[in-house]
Amino acid sequence: MKIALIAHDKKKPEMVQFAIAYESILKEHELYSTGTTGTRVMEATSLQIERFKSGPLGGDQQIGALVANNEMDLVLFFRDPLASQPHEPDITALIRLCDVYGIPLATNMATGEILVKGLGRGDFQWRKIVNPKVEKDV
Ligand SMILES: O=C(CO)COP(=O)(O)O
């Protein structure tokens, strides 16, 4: 499974704690992130993450392109709803693409925990049907 980790600045500490707590599940999967989020998570865990550009420089759009190509199975995007972002259109576009393609998306840690626990239980088997590129056991 391919999983994207993205967090706005105020939510990065939560994302790091989340990645530490669920490292044993996350390490079984291919991880992607926007630039700074990936750096923070890799500093705090032994997870290997393919980092894209920072969000304001196009990272959300790069992840959106994977969603549009059916090459992303889960997006964990801990948004900051209390700060305006210079790249708000990119954020909206990524969330929209997840809905267009029916990709599971968590925009806060509470939902992220439910999805990752489901991932650990094998609840994402259906992605193998809609995405033949998913070969590993999920
Ligand atoms: O801005 C972001 C998502 O919209 C996150 O980008 P960074 O991980 O580079 O901070």
Q: State pTM to two decimals.
A: 0.94
CA–CA dist 127, 72 (Å, integer): 10
Is the ipTM higher than 0.95? The answer is: yes
Confidence of residue 128 (pLDDT cuts 50, 70, 90): confident
Q: 137: Cβ–Cβ under 8 A, 6 or more apart, which residues?
A: 122
Please give the CATH topology (third level) of the domain spanning 2-130.
Rossmann fold (3.40.50)
Average of per-residue pLDDT across 71-97? 97
Catalytic annotation present for 9: no
CA–CA dist 8, 65 (Å, integer): 19
Report CA(102)–ligand 1 centroid distance (Å).
22
Q: Does 92 carry a binding-site annotation?
A: no
Report CA(79)–ligand 1 centroid distance (Å).
9
Average of per-residue pLDDT across 12-17? 98
Digit-coded pLDDT (tens) for 26-42: 999 999 999 999 999 99
Nearest alpha carbon, ligand 1 atom 10: 36
